[in-house]
Amino acid sequence: MKPAPVPDVPLAGRYGRFGGRYVPEILIGALHALERALDEHLHTSAFQAELEAERKSWVGRPTPLTRAARLGERYGCELWLKREDLAHTGAHKINNALGQALLAKRMGKRRVIAETGAGQHGVATAAACARLGLACRVYMGAVDVERQALNVQRMQLFGAEVVPVHALDATLRAAIDEALRDWSGDPEGTYYLLGSVVGPHPYPALVRELQAVIGREARAQMLEAAGALPDAALACVGGGSNAIGLFAGFRDDAAVELLGVEAGGRGTEAGAHGATLSFGRPGVLHGAYSYLLQDERGQVHETHSISAGLDYPGVGPEHAYLKESGRARYIAASDDEALAALRECCALEGILPALESAHALAGARRHAAEHPGARVLVCCSGRGDKDLGILAAAGGAR
Ligand SMILES: *Cc1c(COP(=O)(O)O)cnc(C)c1O
């Protein structure tokens, strides 16, 4: 007799009232299998040893903590940067892609699929799959394939098949639909490698665990280099994975203020920003109950941000919980503030941050104005080489 399916525990994967698992019936089995695989592998010493060895020798961890003295002086605070821009492939996304690819291999999956907007998650996934000898297919909106030709080239060099999606608006949302369709067709053999702390349980918990290395390292590095914990820890929030990873290190330190910085875009009206927690309402998007940008009838809004990584109408459910519980606070930085912060960081520190990360710097500037002299830690989630075209269009190296 076949064993009865594991019952879906209603409270599994909840962050307060947020999170959960809102997916078509056909995917429930695959999500249960993933949950079982986490129980079976994630915390074994063999898995952790392999993950640790790859982090050290291939990703380049621990990433440094850098004192940004000149930028801090400009802001009026003691500023520290956690340098995820120095991780392999240029951003924190590799922490997650590597961990999940290792898991896919342990689960005996034949192939890995992913979806990507700007291509950063696709590049990280393709690199991890190349490293581990896994077949990889990346869905990408046809518009994004055009806009992000360099990242498409990198994915292809790593052996991934990049599939342009022409449906809907031919951007990230269309790519997600297509990836889910693919996964529904072969939930047994295919591993769906999700890129942020979003989606149905257990993804937000899994991605959080893999990104928590950021906060763990940063906490120890602050104690060693600064001799104290920061007064505030800031990170940009798209789906929310680099922020959750940083916050994880300081959640139990009640004196450390946690600040998430969303994409304020061009203004506060619908469609002009990507600031989900600042302007959104609770609802279901991409498999989880969280905040999202929607109109009165539940229609999901278009979003805008100068940084592709923050241009998303949803956010991870744990952030919705952190907001409502008051443990973390969320603010928005505009396109112009992010551009200015990027340029200042380049000119004063010799560091070119991603436009996403520049939102967190803009948040730090505002925090310092309210708390002069504060000790502030910012997650520099990625490097900005990918943004040079956008910078040129926005007025060059002013
Ligand atoms: C993708 C990306 C982000 C946004 O993703 P989160 O899940 O919110 O961290 C931020 N910074 C960089 C550099 C990115 O590539």
Q: What is the pLDDT of residues 37-65, one digit of tens each?
A: 999 999 999 999 999 999 999 999 999 99
* 3-class secondary-structure state, position 284: strand
- For residue 122, the CA-to-ligand 1 centroid distance in Å is 12
Q: Are residues 227 and 268 in the same domain?
A: yes
Is 300:311 a contact under the CB 8 Å cutoff? no
Domain shared by 220 and 348, yes or no = yes
**Over residues 13-41, mean pLDDT:** 94
Q: Which two tokens stand for residue 264?
A: 């304020």
Domain check: are 80 and 127 in the same one? no
| Mean pLDDT over each residue of the chain, to the nearest integer | 94
Considering the domain architecture, whether residues 84 and 112 belong to the same structural domain is answered as: no
* Same domain, yes or no: 268 and 381: yes
- List, chain by chain if needed, residues with CB within 6 Å of any ligand 1 atom: 91, 93, 120, 196, 236-242, 309-310, 354, 356-357, 381-382
**Within this chain, do residues 379 and 254 fall inside the same structural domain, yes or no?**
yes
Same domain, 37 and 128: yes
> Does pLDDT of 4 surpass 60?
no
Task: Note whether 254 and 154 are same-domain residues.
Answer: no
CA of 172 to the centre of ligand 1 (A): 14
Which residue, of 182, 203, 224, is where some domain finishes? 203
- Cβ neighbors of 330 (< 8 A, separation 6 or more) are 237, 259, 260, 261, 262, 275, 277, 278, 319, 323
Could you tell me if residue 185 is inside a domain?
yes
Beta strands in the chain (DSSP E): 14-15, 18-19, 65-67, 78-83, 111-116, 135-141, 161-165, 190-192, 232-236, 257-265, 281-285, 288-292, 328-334, 375-380
Closest Cα to atom 13 of ligand 1? 382
> What pTM was computed for the model?
0.95
- Domain boundary residue among 203, 229, 256? 203
Q: Which residues are catalytic?
A: 93, 115, 381
CA distance 34 to 259: 31
Report the CATH number at residue 218: 3.40.50.1100
Closest C-alpha residue for ligand 1 atom 14: 309
In the structure, what pLDDT confidence band is assigned to residue 5 with cuts at 50, 70 and 90?
Answer: very low
Taking 80 as the threshold, does the pLDDT of residue 239 lie above it?
yes
Tens of pLDDT, residue by residue over 162-178, are: 999 998 888 888 899 89
Query: How large is the average pLDDT for residues 34-38?
Result: 95
Residues 6+ apart with CB under 8 A from 65: 80, 81, 82, 83, 217, 218, 221, 222, 225
114/130 same-domain check: yes
Tens-digit pLDDT profile for residues 120-158? 999 999 999 999 999 999 999 999 999 889 999 999 999
152 shares its domain with 251: no
266 exposure class (CB count in 10 Å sphere: 0-12, 13-18, 19+):
middle
- Cβ atoms of 306 and 238 within 8 Å: the answer is no
Give 78 Cα–ligand 1 centroid separation in angstroms.
24
What range does the domain containing 378 cover?
A: 62-91+212-393
User: What's the sign of the alpha-carbon dihedral 214, 231, 85, 146?
Assistant: positive
Query: Is a pLDDT exceeding 50 seen at residue 3?
Result: no
Q: What is the DSSP string of 8-52?
A: --TTTTEETTEE-----HHHHHHHHHHHHHIIIIITSHHHHHHHH
Percent of the chain with pLDDT over 90: 88
- Write down which residue in 185, 203, 221 finishes a domain: 203
> Within this chain, do residues 195 and 237 fall inside the same structural domain, yes or no?
no
Q: Total structural domains in the chain?
A: 2
Give a yes or no: residue 398 inside a domain. Answer: no
